[in-house]
Structure 1
Amino acid sequence: MTASDFATYIAGLPRVLSGAATLFRDADGRVLLVEPNYREGWALPGGTIESESGETPREAARRETLEEIGLDLAPGRLLALDWGRAPDRPPVVAYLYDGGVLTGEQFMAIRLQQAELLSWKLVPRDEITAYLPGALGPRVLAALDVLSTDAGPVELVDGRPA
């Protein structure tokens, strides 16, 4: 195979979008959610992995946490990996990391990215799916289950166990 043939082959491969987020909690187990200004529903601190720069999912989760809520915290272990499908876009691979339990001082230090976020709140487990659209709610619940059992990362498809 020539270099040109290989380049053509690579260009023809399916594209997959990728994102990374971090799951932060308080001492009562409530989950930190952020309210985007560009779409309905709430989200976790996170976003797109900048693969052009060679960014890894873990690096993206840390960068997005710093950009969105102003906290420079290294993500903990990987809790969930989710393959998401939608008819109007390429598949999405979402990495969800443990951010741990934040202290009162850390909550007081949150500074929202004004260009993208309106507010933040702490939400109990039983209200997660009311706030998080699509597969994100089930993804977060699956990640919370991983935390409660000390199991390894869970593999998901559209937020459900694979």
Structure 2
Amino acid sequence: MTTTDTYAAYIASLPRVLAGAAALFLDAEGRVLLVEPNYREGWALPGGTVESDDGETPRQGARRETLEEIGLDRPMGRLLAVDWVHGTGRPPVVAYVYDGGVLTEADLGAIVLQEEELLSWRLVPREQITDHLSGALGRRVLVALDTLTEGSGTAELENGHRVE
């Protein structure tokens, strides 16, 4: 076996990890923009899977997914949170949450949903986040909001819980 074959076999034996990236958008009142997927129950932040086979970074993935899902092409702000989410029936996911900024009335009026994946969107106040986002995702968004308010740094999470 050649060195190249040995290395390829080693790489193939490593555990698989998925990567997702999302944008945390707020309106002027501080409400969070959520989208309702048609392929599963519940709500989500605009975002999705990072296409690493194309060399896409998480930041690029969040921007691409935002454009595809809601029609807004906006550069992502700072990284607010990184969450390692253990999988049941799937590999673990590393979820990145970026500051998408504050959306104006004009931005909100320009939202065009990707009909193949989304049913609707809504603005949700902080106190209702966990009514719409369950488990690790709800906790992740609350921590990302806290990180945004704190003004600096990035939160490290495991299953939506802050790692201290």
Task: Indicate the SS of the match to 1:86.
Answer: coil
Residue 127 (structure 2) aligns with: 126
Partner secondary structure for residue 88 of structure 1: coil
Q: What is the root-mean-square deviation of aligned Cα atoms in Å?
A: 0.8
Structure 1 residue 149 displacement after superposition: 1.0
**Shift of the alpha carbon at 1:136?**
0.6
The CA deviation at 1:148 is 1.0
**Matches for 1:13-162 after TM superposition, within 5 Å:** 13-162=14-163
Q: Secondary structure at the match of 1:107?
A: helix
- Measure the CA separation in 1 of the matches of 2:107 and 2:16: 37
Give the number of equivalent residue pairs. Answer: 162
Deviation at residue 134 of structure 1 after TM alignment: 2.2
In structure 2, runs of 5+ residues without a counterpart are: none
State the distance in 2 between where 1:74 and 1:88 align: 33
Q: Does the residue aligned with 1:100 lie in a helix, a strand or coil?
A: strand
Shift of 1:86: 2.2
Please give the alpha-carbon distance, in whole angstroms, between the structure 1 residues aligned to 2:87 and 2:66.
26
* Equivalent position SS for 1:89: coil
Amino acid at match of 1:123: V
Instruction: For residues 79-110 of structure 1, give each alpha carbon's deviation from its aligned partner in whole angstroms, at most 9, with x where no partner exists.
Output: 00000012211100000000111000000000
Find runs of 4+ consecutive structure 1 residues off by over 3 angstroms: none
The residue aligned with 1:2 is 3
Q: What TM-score, normalized by structure 1, do the two folds share?
A: 0.98
Q: Secondary structure at the match of 1:39?
A: coil
